Structure 1
Amino acid sequence: MFEVVMTMQAFSGSASRGGARLIITSGVVFILLVFYTLGFATNFSAILAIAYIASAMGLFIGWAKLAEPPFSLLCESQGIRYQHRVGSLLLPWSAFSFCAVPSIEGKQLAFIGFKITNYDLLLQGLPVRLAVRMMTEQRALYLEAVRQSCSSGQCASDLLREKDSFKTQSGQYSGVKAIFAQRMQRLAQASGFELLVPVNVGAEQAEQWCRDINKNRLQQLQQLQPSN
């Protein structure tokens, strides 16, 4: 499923949907609770406290939904752009060979995986803040990848020691980007894909997204090839 936005294909999951409705509903409930408490409640019961907590949580969740970008993936002329509430990453078409829905031990993940062929094109445009957030959100997945690499169960501590430097054939990286690159390698060993981005859709729709992205990639690369 995609929508055409100017010259781009925009892929949207469900994370940002329903935020405004949830905020309005929770806000109305909260106001009614205040009026009830001031005008009718003789004491502040446990049920009333739970109702206040539930409405406050609804307001927070609604705000969090509104903070999510309306589209998680955008097919632009230069590449595929991953959008997160803390930033965005443009992955050039020539930086990866294909994308697909990854799996670990036969279990499909709620991610789209990109097979990276050029680390430099990815790392050079990677915002540090986004890298930190992605590593935090994917910590459980990374720990599973480490476990997959340790058949004996005795090497996890060694694998969890991350170096603060990473070198490619044409670049040297340090700090957060170096750690991110090392985790990409570990994820690739477990899932076959270096870059994983979360999607809030079913596997069938995610697979259709991948087909559309791969088709778009081939078309864009063909347009960049010089004509004879």
Structure 2
Amino acid sequence: MKDNEILIKPVVKRNGLTFSFLGSLGVVAGISLFLFGSEFFAPGIVCFALGAIALVLGFSKLAEPEVSLKLTNEGFTYFHRRGQVSVAWENVQRIDQPRVTQGIDTIALPYIGVKVKHMSPVLEVISLRLAAGLLTEQRPLLMTASTQEEDLSVLENQMSAEFTPFIEDNDRFKGVLAMFGHRSRLLGSHLGYHLYISTDALDRPANEFIALMNQCKHSQVA
């Protein structure tokens, strides 16, 4: 680890090799039971199905980056299997865990929310593959936002704007970047944050990570 640099290794990455190994054994055992005769067909199906599930889960864990976040003096970088994006501390307005109301209860969402001052610096550095991937992954957040909006026509109008250029100050973005900019702005107006990091990408409880990020933001990783 370099000086003034904190690396976060995701919990979801753990046990990837174990799941892959056990999954391979399950698939092989299932195929072997098929070959032994029809009386072993049922247990063979069970072994093969469980093995396939474990194998897919193991491969998905191994596909995740070794480091999910890097905190430095300048800001933080979020690493995703589809790409990465960096955000300067000076562009961060607030970091917390987004919460929504459900009846009389307040529910914390499994994300770290980052409210930025300007989206243009983010759109300038985010990879196109990551922007496209996050648009898909954030659909549950979009559905959550819809449950918080009493007048759904407002949300529908904001969603229709995703297909238009995203303009901020003198910057203009088109295509996927425009869609991601509009989506971030929409989520910011309904859930309070523009960027969302899944808690699966963390190596500690959400409240501890939020405290760490705020400490880094205010002290610039002393």
TM-score range normalised by the length of the shorter chain: 0.7 to 0.9
Q: Name the residue aligned to 2:74.
A: 78
Q: Name the residue aligned to 1:160.
A: 159
Normalised to the residue count of structure 2, the TM-score between the two structures is 0.87
**1:99 maps onto 2:95 in alignment:** yes
Once the 2 structures are TM-superposed, how far is the Cα of residue 155 of structure 1 from its aligned partner? Answer: 4.5
Provide the C-alpha distance between the structure 2 equivalents of 1:10 and 1:51, rounded to a whole number of angstroms. Answer: 38
Q: Which amino acid in the other structure matches residue 53 of structure 1?
A: A
**1:52 maps onto 2:51 in alignment:** no
Once the 2 structures are TM-superposed, how far is the Cα of residue 147 of structure 1 from its aligned partner? Answer: 4.1
Q: Name the residue aligned to 2:18.
A: 21
Once the 2 structures are TM-superposed, how far is the Cα of residue 19 of structure 1 from its aligned partner? Answer: 0.6
Q: Name the residue aligned to 2:61.
A: 65
Q: Which amino acid in the other structure matches residue 31 of structure 2?
A: V
- Do the aligned partners of residues 83 and 217 (structure 1) sit closer, same or farther apart at CA in structure 2, a change above 3 Å counting? same
Once the 2 structures are TM-superposed, how far is the Cα of residue 201 of structure 1 from its aligned partner? Answer: 7.6
- Do the aligned partners of residues 80 and 33 (structure 1) sit closer, same or farther apart at CA in structure 2, a change above 3 Å counting? same
Q: Which amino acid in the other structure matches residue 22 of structure 1?
A: F
Q: Number of paired residues?
A: 215
Q: Name the residue aligned to 2:122.
A: 122
Once the 2 structures are TM-superposed, how far is the Cα of residue 209 of structure 1 from its aligned partner? Answer: 0.7
Once the 2 structures are TM-superposed, how far is the Cα of residue 112 of structure 1 from its aligned partner? Answer: 0.6
3-state DSSP of counterpart to 2:37: coil
Contact 1:14–1:201 (Cα < 8 Å) also in 2 = yes
3-state DSSP of counterpart to 2:22: helix
- Do the aligned partners of residues 217 and 70 (structure 1) sit closer, same or farther apart at CA in structure 2, a change above 3 Å counting? same
3-state DSSP of counterpart to 1:193: coil
Contact 1:23–1:63 (Cα < 8 Å) also in 2 = yes
Q: Name the residue aligned to 2:136.
A: 136
- Do the aligned partners of residues 152 and 100 (structure 1) sit closer, same or farther apart at CA in structure 2, a change above 3 Å counting? closer
Q: Name the residue aligned to 1:12.
A: 9
1:88 aligns with one of 78, 84, 88 = 84
Greater helix fraction, Structure 1 or Structure 2: 2
Segments of 5+ residues of structure 2 without an aligned counterpart are: none
Segments of 5+ residues of structure 1 without an aligned counterpart are: 224-228
Contact 1:147–1:156 (Cα < 8 Å) also in 2 = no
Q: Which amino acid in the other structure matches residue 26 of structure 1?
A: G
Q: Name the residue aligned to 2:213.
A: 213
Contact 2:23–2:51 (Cα < 8 Å) also in 1 = yes
3-state DSSP of counterpart to 2:205: helix
Contact 2:31–2:44 (Cα < 8 Å) also in 1 = no
Q: Name the residue aligned to 1:226.
A: none
- Do the aligned partners of residues 21 and 184 (structure 1) sit closer, same or farther apart at CA in structure 2, a change above 3 Å counting? same
Once the 2 structures are TM-superposed, how far is the Cα of residue 81 of structure 1 from its aligned partner? Answer: 0.8
Once the 2 structures are TM-superposed, how far is the Cα of residue 32 of structure 1 from its aligned partner? Answer: 2.9
RMSD between aligned alpha carbons? 2.3
| Amino-acid identity (%) | 24
Contact 1:167–1:173 (Cα < 8 Å) also in 2 = yes
3-state DSSP of counterpart to 1:113: strand
Q: Name the residue aligned to 2:111.
A: 111
Once the 2 structures are TM-superposed, how far is the Cα of residue 71 of structure 1 from its aligned partner? Answer: 2.6
Provide the C-alpha distance between the structure 2 equivalents of 1:157 and 1:171, rounded to a whole number of angstroms. Answer: 25
Contact 1:104–1:190 (Cα < 8 Å) also in 2 = no
Task: Show CA shifts across 1:129-163 (max 9, x none).
Answer: 101111101112113224433x2444454333123
